[in-house]
Amino acid sequence: MADANQTTKTETYDAVIIGAGVSGMYMLHRLRALGLTARVYEAGSGVGGTWYWNRYPGARFDSESYSYGYSFDQGLLQDWDWQEHFAGQPEILQYLEHVADRFDLRRDISFNTRIASAHFDEQATTWEIVAEDGRRARGRFLITALGPLSAPTMPSIPGMEDFQGDAWHTAHWPHEPVSFDGRRVGVIGTGATGVQAITEIAKTAGTLTVFQRNPNYCAPLGNGPISSAEMDEIRARYPEIFARCRETHGGFLHNADHRLTMDLSPAEREAVWEKLYHERGFGIWTGNFRDTFTDQAANDLLSDFVRGKIRARVQDPAVAELLTPTNHGFGTRRVPLESGYYEVYNQPNVSLVDIRRNPIERITKTGIVVDGQEHALDMIIYATGFDAVTGAFSRMDIRGRAGQSLTDKWADGPRTNLGLTVAGFPNMLTLVGPHNAGTFCNIPRCIEQNVDWVSDLMTHMRDQGLASIETTEAAEDDWTAHVYETAAGSLLSKTDSWFTGVNQNLPDKKRTFYAYAGGAPAYRKQCDEVAADGYRGFVLG
């Protein structure tokens, strides 16, 4: 039970920030530099956001480590040594803890504090937040730093509570070591998280049973250690690395090939795909021909190429077919990068169960029943995804003018201006919110743009003696229409994925487009133009 003094005392700040991940930490640092008071509220016991919560085996970057880290401080860049081209979760969390120590961020972060509500007080032009334990705080600005994949979802399967073995969602992984030695493990889900976890668990599990509903196209990660000499060379190239990320569509090191798929002969394009398939990182996804995700015929050819790779790597033709997607094209969902995923299914201790054809009937005390057969298990791992982009918002009671609920406003899909503000919710700024380029990006690159734009806004308001900012309904309508028009030209909008709000555990969620498909450079340009035009589309007062 909360202490009585805790529940009645209300602390006041210039800004309250929800979330101590990559965006919340940088936002706090920038606000301090402006001389503003800020407090961060974090549900976990430490910093890191995604990298604090997701401790499952195999969790790691799919962006090159040196393209992912913060770019705002030269000393930080020069002092940190990345150990792998794609760092694993322990190293990533160590890096973010190092950042928190270096800039003394923890003194302004309240840990183990999950926010239940945030209500706008129109008379005082402030936001009041209330934590689940009753603690309260007020801030002129409410800044959400929630992350697009931070609200895990569980399936609804009869008997889940009956299972007597160990069971976790991957985003709620224990902080202590978990052993799979000799154990019978079941994994439900084969998205990006499932792919990473399955590959690692298969190395030591007695048996591993994978329950797959929808197969995904996966491509080789190409990871490896970074030598001391390589790290020195990377440090020297940081200006080039970040300049490259700044100009690419998704903020990654890879940029689209300017040619069209059909401009090349079959042999020529096959050679390009072969090269990209065996290179590090997302080149096969974000470095492909520029019509890959707008022309169905072009995408079909690439999809056939990747399907051939899957079949060549899996020895049993029947298993290979189960692992080969047929209901969407390559890259129209975020592509999981892997390190031997398909070869896992060649191991005698691994079996694949198709639950699209035969859904899970129930979970018992000792296993999972499919098609009348019980698969005996000691451990069940739920790699069942997230209520993406808007889920973390809907798990709080956020209310703007006249008590309007944000959940109600977004019932038919999110509406924002620039993915950063919402009409009717003054002084609320949504870092990496819906319809923001950060939801479809090498996320720290877009986070820094978001935070820098908000910081410049705060500077402008401070210098002009302004207390409030709110987007107009017209500007919100225009941006939302622009988001949907941009998505309509992309094959991503035609595919069921978290980009379109589809999750089998959320049958009532509106299918629409939750990201911004226009690319990080176009998004940044529009944000800059709005600011340069005196914050066009906003009412400041």
pLDDT number for residue 248:
97
Taking Cα atoms as reference points, which of 110, 5, 101, 15 lies closest to residue 455? 15
Place of tokens 């094959």: 491
pLDDT at 342 over 70: yes
Strand runs labelled E in 145-268: 166-169, 184-188, 207-212, 219-220
- pLDDT for 8 equals 60
Residue type, 370: V
- Report pLDDT digits (tens) over 169-218: 999 999 999 999 999 999 999 999 999 999 999 999 999 999 999 999 99
User: CA separation (Å) from 330 to 126, 325, 333, 336, 356?
Assistant: 46, 8, 7, 11, 19
pLDDT at 339 over 50: yes
Beta pairing partners, 270: none
Q: Is 380 helix (H, G, I), strand (E, B) or coil?
A: strand
Tokens of 30: 């920038």
Residue type, 150: S
Smallest CA-to-CA distance from 210 within 328, 319, 99 is with 319
Phi, psi of 73 (to 5 degrees): -130, 120
Looking at the DSSP assignment, which residues form a beta bridge with residue 382? Answer: 169, 188
1 pLDDT more than 90 = no
Q: Which pLDDT tens digit goes with each residue over 272-286?
A: 999 999 999 999 999
Largest CA distance in the chain: 74
CA separation for the pair 195, 59 (Å, rounded): 10
Type of residue at 432: V
What's the mean per-residue pLDDT of the chain?
A: 96
Cα angle 172-396-124, degrees, rounded to a multiple of 5 = 140
pLDDT digits (tens, 9 = 90+) for 247-262: 999 999 999 999 999 9
pTM score: 0.96
pLDDT for 283-302, tens place per residue? 999 999 999 999 999 999 99
What whole-number percentage of the chain has pLDDT above 90? Answer: 98
